[in-house]
Amino acid sequence: MSSAATTVPQSAPEPASAAPGVAQGAGPDARQSAGQGAAEASAAPAGITAGPEPETGTAAAGAAGPSGGVPASRKPAADYADYPLVPAPRPWRWVGTAVVALGVAAVAWSLATNPRWEWGVVAQWFTAQSVINGLVETLKLTAISGVLGFVLGFILALMRLSSSPLLLSVSWTFSWIFRSTPLLVQMLLWYNLGYLYEKISLGIPFTDVRFFEVQTTTLISQFAAAVLGLTLNQAAYSAEIIRGGILSVDQGQLEAAAALGIPAWRRSTRIVLPQAMRAILPNAFNEIIGLVKGTSIVYVLAYSELFYTVQVIYNRTQQVLPLLLVATLWYVVITSVLSVFQYYIERHYSKGAVRTLPLTPLQKARKFFATHAPVRSLR
């Protein structure tokens, strides 16, 4: 007798009860939101309870602040437009300025009130024809000796940088001799060269062939001796200045130019010298200014330059100090003009070394008055 299994039908699982607080008659949207809340609650780890619900109504509005996005505890930014700009106190600068101002005022008062300066005599001789002629001779000596001295100094500098032992030795010996002897001694030596050599001739050495011959006393006049002494002395110092300027250029630039196939002459004139001028110019202008004042030594040769002319005048009039002041003022004028040229030439050659060019005196004056104007508010 066979038995057959009787299948007992199982009832379908009952639907989950609605979330607490949801009415039986609630719509599907309410039930869906309640189900999502229950799922989030069941997904939370054990031991962690949900925090308090955010406040609503007036409490939330008060936390948000009157503007809705800025908390009420944060204060608005202060307005500094009404605050005056007050410079930092620097009492010692004012003390130093006052002391220097008193010293300058005392010197100016002494120059203006001391009758022994004899400013009337100074004004009388300052533009006298004899003084102007002496000034012209001083400028002539400065220009000729300066140009020839720097040209010869440039040649000597190249000889000093040469790989030839003979050229290097001759250049070094020249600079050593003329930098080691006083300029006054050199002047007197050249003027008395006729005592050593009666005639000066040009021809083939070690033969009797002569192309040119002249008496030394005829050739070496007062002017020639002055130019010769000033030129050779200036060349010795110029050679060292130019050599130092050339050596100040980075060696890597020469190597890079050579690697690019630039000829040696163009490397020297277009790469080395423009950069070396920044180091050469300040010392070169100092030498020229020194040369202007160095022409006063020519008075030992009785050459009628500025200082000798002034000496002749005060030996005749016995007005020593006023005439010396005349010469001093003219030297100040010459050196001041040279200083102005020096400033602008150095400013031109500094273009490759600085991002912004230094201010000119006029620009500095404008900046000074702009920064020291009366303090105003920002409005």
pLDDT per residue over 176-198, tens digit each? 999 999 999 999 999 998 888 88
Q: Sign (positive/negative) of CA torsion 298, 303, 309, 313? A: positive
Residues 6+ apart with CB under 8 A from 270: 262
Q: HSE-up of 111 (CA within 13 Å, CB side)?
A: 9
More confident position, 205 or 112: 112
Cβ burial of 312 (10 Å; 0-12, 13-18, 19+) is: middle
Q: How far is CA 355 from the centre of its chain?
A: 10
- Confidence (pLDDT) at 344: 86
Query: Can you give the residue ranges of every domain in the chain?
Result: 2-80, 91-124, 127-349
For residue 376, pLDDT beyond 70: no
More confident position, 184 or 77: 184
Beta strands 199-203 and 210-215, pairing class: antiparallel
Among residues 340, 351, 346, 344, the alpha carbon closest in space to that of 278 is found at: 346
- Confidence (pLDDT) at 30: 42
Backbone angles phi, psi at 355, to 5 degrees: -75, -40
pLDDT digits (tens, 9 = 90+) for 88-104: 888 899 999 999 999 99
Cβ burial of 236 (10 Å; 0-12, 13-18, 19+) is: buried
Average pLDDT over residues 257-279: 85
More confident position, 4 or 135: 135
Beta bridge partners of 102: none
Beta bridge partners of 202: 212
Beta bridge partners of 1: none
Two tokens at 183? 């300029």
Residues 6+ apart with CB under 8 A from 163: none
- Confidence (pLDDT) at 373: 63
pLDDT digits (tens, 9 = 90+) for 219-252: 888 999 999 999 999 999 999 999 999 898 888 8
pLDDT digits (tens, 9 = 90+) for 303-318: 999 999 999 999 999 8
How far apart CA 138 and CA 312 sit, in angstroms, is 15
1-38 core/surface letters (b: 16 or more CB in 10 A; e: else): eeeeeeeeeeeeeeeeeebeebeeeeeeeeeeebeeee
Class of domain 127-349: mainly alpha
39-48 core/surface letters (b: 16 or more CB in 10 A; e: else): eeeeeeeeee
Two tokens at 130? 């004899």
pTM exceeds cut of 0.75: no
- Confidence (pLDDT) at 352: 66
| Length reported for the chain | 379
Q: Quick one: three-class SS letters along 120-152?
A: HHHHHHHCCHHHHHHHHHHHHHHHHHHHHHHHH
